[in-house]
Chains A and B, each alone.
Chain A
């Protein structure tokens, strides 16, 4: 009797153990962007193909997520199996040994189909460390009707002077129509993304080859003066608190003539459900300046799925990453939600697809903008860093935001351009000395 009980107990323990083994739960940390939300809704398809893998989502605000995930990965806490991270983190984290290499994702994944600029941005020493989910560059979006009314024509490859002239002519403050909307809210991923890309086209750089900050150089003064003057004359009131979302709202409600921002914005402004101007939007490449007609700011960003080295479920995690970022996923989204809603900017095959081209009038220009981006040579003079609209060093989050506050103050008028540049130079020098870059 006793033996039987023991045997029964042993069998049931074994059964439970094998059951526990059969079900793997993946915890996925992500941000609340439209494409990610869509992915969450479509996971039934993944569950059908992988009945033994359960998914738990942790969605957080971008900055909270960055802090949360950094703490976990730096301490090897192992709370997450898949992370949503930007192109800024991938190279830094990969060098720290925090991410698993994704070179073994399998045949269906087809690494060679990734856009070269994006694939480079998430690779270190030729190895892929995160799988791009959606990518973006920056471009000009403008109101065709307002341009016509003002009698201006915006070429496909405009210069800053042409943009400024058009913006001024399109401005009609009595009807609350402002010629140009640009980011002004302080933050390394807010105003500094735009201003850094813009500065690249003016020939300005963050650091010289020996990591000395360059805000005391004439190129920066020209870039910042141009930005502040243009916004004062043709920008909306209170622009120093406008980020991506605020400008999106202004453009969608017909209050902006020109908006220069991330290419992903195109799918928002052409969506007739939310946008009043959906059928009136024209596109052009990011404006050029003194750095030459080929320098379009070199803005390049992608949200990627990475697997932390601390995960114990690497195999299941790779299955999910592969599912969410391969070509079949694109087709799945297209079949459920239409071609206009597929995550853009990661694969060549998407841009070769005539159906996508038909559904997304901004497809070609987005591809051109992404192909034009060169993050290893963002401007004319050589730089010691990579990154177009950011500098890929760990210190940049802090420095970028502090400099962003100076420039935002210059835009608000509470500080002169010279003062802001001087402040930026001082604080950047201090931080870089502290970080050991400058001896």
Chain B
């Protein structure tokens, strides 16, 4: 599919007209390098790097981003930055360290979802220059996902899948994680 959408911009409800743009990369070769930059905090402006294997649907990223944005606007972030908060929120748990470890990237990550909060136009060129990998269409996200790991991380039970999709189940956990 040559015309597959390689970047998607999601609109967010907020007062600063910020949007979220998402890219998907496979066969990434420099995950270790990116991770070092993240830890050092030297990426400016910041980006969020997500382990694409455990995110089966964009709805999950959207819900987590909106939640992060709400916390950002109220000044109640639980992590260092808005972008880190996005990765943390995707996990739908209260445990920051474990969330970043599971849903952020690791040294040997091959498939990476990159997300950026921005106003105006997204800087796609910069993202491509940072990530050494193959930019692929976001419609491949669901086929990349490792469903066994997803179900294990989110503790999704079979009964739950009778009343909705995996994305629905995860969305509920993200919403309810601080209740």
Asked if chains A and B come from one complex, the reply is no
